[in-house]
Amino acid sequence: MATMTLPFGTASVYERTVLELFHEAGINVNGTEVHDIQVHHPGFYRRVLAQGSLGLGESYMDGWWDCPRLDIFFTRLLRVKLEQRVTNRIGIMLAALQARLLNFQLPGLARRNVAQHYNLGNDLFISMLDKRLTYTCGYWKNATTLDEAQDAKLDLTCRKLHMKEGMKVLDIGCGWGSFAKYATEKFAVEVTGITLSEEQLQLGRELCAGLPVKLKLLDYRSVEGKFDRIVSLGMFEHVGLKNYASYFDMVHRCLKDNGLFLLHTIGSNQGSVTTDPWLDKYIFPHTLTPGLDQVIKGVRGRLLLEDLHNFGADYDKTLMAWNQNFTLHFGDLRHHYSERFTRMWQYYLLCCAGIFRARKQQLWQMVFSKGISGGYVSVR
């Protein structure tokens, strides 16, 4: 990864360097376009050059700069690959070394990682998500609203799994039970869902009351039993590269011989062992968006890839809808969340929207089997 040599000297040197870099992306400081930024603190320039994405995000949280349309700002930055030129190289090298030597997703640590994000408060997610509380990418092919897009995604997922009445289904990373509730109501199956978030579990059980749904506080490594279908929507990013083998071993062990497994995950264009420093620190600790080669290596010798569907561009629309909901309902959340948290959360949603709009990350749905007789019929 190419990095730029940081200038040393007066503050004007730092400022000039940042202005030149932003100019390459068509961004002006204190300009009038919606993607231009307004700088409020003179230390902004040095902080960004010294700390890369971490400095950019933290300085925004601290109110050092603003931008009317963060999503467009990030799309422009990423399309000219500025993130590869302004980075804390030493910090990234240390993070990569830690990722290679340590396993941050062992059972005890995994629960702590999940708690930092998913236990923030159900009121936050209720204000932001669709009516079913589906915290994964929607499918917008024929949808015009977030509710429609999430229902379409859940329906597509069930149809890809060729669900039939009476089947037993395992949902790895069940969230608030949106998939479990949809699948049992629409396809008359029985669902066992697992999560590491106590907040999700409590509300999920309330939402699925009276249905053939069992939600459990359980690590995927401890799952027992056999299932006709297994699904995982937006959980694989939390598994960690060192645990891919044990993850797919569990799926292979628990999937019936004629069963199907659907993996829904964010994917990276280029495989890595680390995530963005700001996202790692504030949003999703110790997560990894895998490269396709990393997924295939992890599943090799265990399952057969039957189908691969990329609708990553739909995550841009989903994130923008989440941000619109969060902004609309922010007044109801003020007593629970600080101004700095609010800036952090909107930065997260709009930064990620820019990432997907620039096509730097994808959303993959993969269907696997143990090699079903006669082959698999793809669904779109």
Other Cβ atoms closer than 10 A to 158: 21
- How far apart CA 86 and CA 53 sit, in angstroms, is 8
Which are the catalytic amino acids?
Answer: 352
- How far apart CA 22 and CA 34 sit, in angstroms, is 14
- How far apart CA 168 and CA 200 sit, in angstroms, is 22
Residues 6+ apart with CB under 8 A from 223: 170, 172, 194, 250, 254
| DSSP output for 74-97 | HHHHHHTTGGGTS--HHHHHHHHH
Other Cβ atoms closer than 10 A to 247: 22
8-state DSSP, 29? B
Tokens 């995550």 correspond to 315
Torsion over CA of 268, 273, 276 and 279, rounded to 10 degrees?
A: 100
Residues 6+ apart with CB under 8 A from 318: 137, 138, 140, 146, 149
> Do the Cβ atoms of 368 and 299 come closer than 8 Å?
yes
Q: Which of 127, 118, 52, 37 is nearest to 88 (CA)?
A: 52
> Do the Cβ atoms of 328 and 309 come closer than 8 Å?
no
- How far apart CA 239 and CA 225 sit, in angstroms, is 21
